[in-house]
A and B are shown apart, each in its own frame.
Chain A
Amino acid sequence: MDPLDLHLLSELEGGLPPVREPYEEIGRRLNLTGSEVLERIRKLQNAGIIRKFRARINQRRVGISANALVAWKHVDSLNGDMGSLLASYPCVTHCYERLPVPGRWEYTVYTVHHGYSRDAVLAEIGEIADHICAHEYVVLFSTEEFKRVPNVRVRENGSNTA
Chain B
Amino acid sequence: MTGHPLPDETDLQILDALQDDIPLVPRPFEAIAQRLGIPEQVFLDRLERLLEEGIIKAISPILEARPMGLCASTLVALHVPDERVHETAAIINGYPGVSHNFRRDHYYALWFTISGKSEEDIQRVLAEILRRTGIPGRDALNLPTIRKLKIDVRFSFLNDEEQEDNYGPA
Contact = CB atoms under 8 A, between A and B. Distances in A.
Contacts of B102: 67, 69, 142-146, 148
A133 to B, nearest CB: 14
Given A20-B30, A53-B21, A57-B155, A47 B7 contact: no
B99 A57 contact: no
B120 interface: no
Contacts, number: 265
Interface residues of A, number: 87
> Secondary structure of the B side of the interface?
mixed
Contacts of B24: 23, 38, 41-42
Contacts of A59: 155
B131 interface: no
A99 B76 CA distance: 11
Name, among B22, B44, B60, the residue most crowded by chain A CB atoms within 10 Å (CB to CB): B60
Interface string B6-24: 1100001001001111101
Contact of B166 (A16, A89, A138, A159): A89
Contacts of A149: 99-100
